Amino acid sequence: MNVQHVLIISAGLFSVGIFGVLSRRNLLIVLLSVEIMLNGANLALVGLSRDLAASATPSAAESGQALVLFSMAVAAAEVAVGLSILIAFFRHARSVDTASPRATALRR
């Protein structure tokens, strides 16, 4: 258990999120996958913050944690806006399928 292991686990979470975003056509699950990617990045930030704090010169190691808190706030805002866009999309297309026929009619 060292900083590399934390980074590898965060890379795993991030890749799982990428897989979800690219492979699913359900808009809800695409949004959930974006959340998982954000969490992977947060985990990396926390791990690096803890690594910096244990170093010889622990200057401003808290900034990593502060950045995670801010990214959580950004994620909350992103989810609120994203879900309301999803509902507007559903009203229009009667489906949450990103490739539904009426969704593609949006592009006219």
Binders of other proteins among 51-90, rule CB under 8 A?
51, 53-55, 58, 60-63, 65-66, 68-70, 72-81, 83-88, 90
Q: Counting contacts by CB under 8 A, is residue 1 touching other proteins?
A: yes
Q: How far is the CB of 37 from other proteins (least distance, A)?
A: 10
- Write the DSSP string, the chain: --HHHHHHHHHHHHHHHHHHHHH--BHHHHHHHHHHHHHHHHHHHHHHHHHHHTSSS--STHHHHHHHHHHHHHHHHHHHHHHHHHHHHHHHHSS-BTT-HHHHGGG-
Binders of other proteins among 29-58, rule CB under 8 A?
29, 31-33, 35-36, 39, 42-43, 46-47, 49-51, 53-55, 58
Q: How far is the CB of 55 from other proteins (least distance, A)?
A: 5
Q: Counting contacts by CB under 8 A, is residue 101 touching other proteins?
A: no
